[in-house]
Amino acid sequence: MALKQREVARRLYAKELQESTLFYKEHDDAYAPQYLLTPTGAKCNRVFVVGTLTEKENVGVDADYWRARIADPTGVFPIYAGQYQQQAVTQLSSIEVPSFVAVIGKLNVFHADEGPVKVSIRPEFINVVGAETRNRWVLETAEKTLERIEILKQGGENVAKVHDYYGTDTSPYIAVVIEAVKTLVKES
């Protein structure tokens, strides 16, 4: 019996997600999972993000449809949860703004007519967490981002695709890592 492999939850900063627009499928079949290939070479279907819930609003007319914003040190993750994300809808409705939250979710893409591609997160689960979890995520995401950049420099599997689409300059993403990690340094 072939068990379908569960998609790994990738770690990346909001700034990188905002600049990611290359979606692709590995197979032509309609049910094949869609992946987002990011400028540092992360291949994402599911993500795990931790940040501050800064806004939430139920914008649904007939049914619940929640829009929320989660900020990390580099930018904002847009979150949309509707009737197929019932667990997340229930959680969003009760979490206070602002709070540190952890979100596990799938990526969603909007192709507005003629407009830019916009990526958001469709949450599977949202939980309130403590500052220690948030700090660990910021550090872990820095490590994962640097690891990806190192792999790109050595010529990993998606290098050609990443270079063709986004170019070869990874320095802006190294700068983003430094900016994010510096926020963890305690003022003394």
For the CB of residue 60, give the shortest distance to other proteins in the complex, in Å. Answer: 23
According to CB under 8 A, which one of 22, 71, 104, 159 is a site residue for other proteins?
104
All residues at 6 or more sequence positions from 57 whose CB lies less than 8 Å from its CB, including other chains: 66, 67, 68
Does position 71 interact with other proteins (CB under 8 A)? The reply is no
Helices (H), ranges, the chain = 14-18, 86-94, 131-154, 159-166, 171-182
32 binds other proteins (CB under 8 A): no
Cα–Cα distance measured from residue 129 to residue 115, given in angstroms and rounded to the nearest whole number: 36
- Name the minimum Å distance from CB 132 to other proteins: 5
Size of the site for other proteins (CB under 8 A): 39
Indicate left, alpha or beta for 75 from its phi (over 0: left) and psi (-120 to 50: alpha): left
133 binds other proteins (CB under 8 A): yes
Indicate the residue among 60 and 181 with the shorter CB distance to other proteins: 181
* Closer residue to other proteins (CB): 22 or 181: 181
CA angle 55, 81, 143 (to 5 degrees): 70
**Under rule CB under 8 A, residue 2 binds other proteins:** no
Q: Is 48 in the site for other proteins (CB under 8 A)?
A: yes
Distance CA 56, CA 61 (A): 15
Using rule CB under 8 A, residue 96 touches other proteins? no
Query: Phi first, then psi: what are they for 96, rounded to 5°?
Result: -80, 150
Residues at the interface with other proteins (CB under 8 A): 6, 8-11, 48, 50, 101-104, 124-125, 127, 129, 132-133, 135-136, 139-140, 142-144, 146, 149-150, 153, 170-171, 174-175, 177-178, 181-182, 184-186
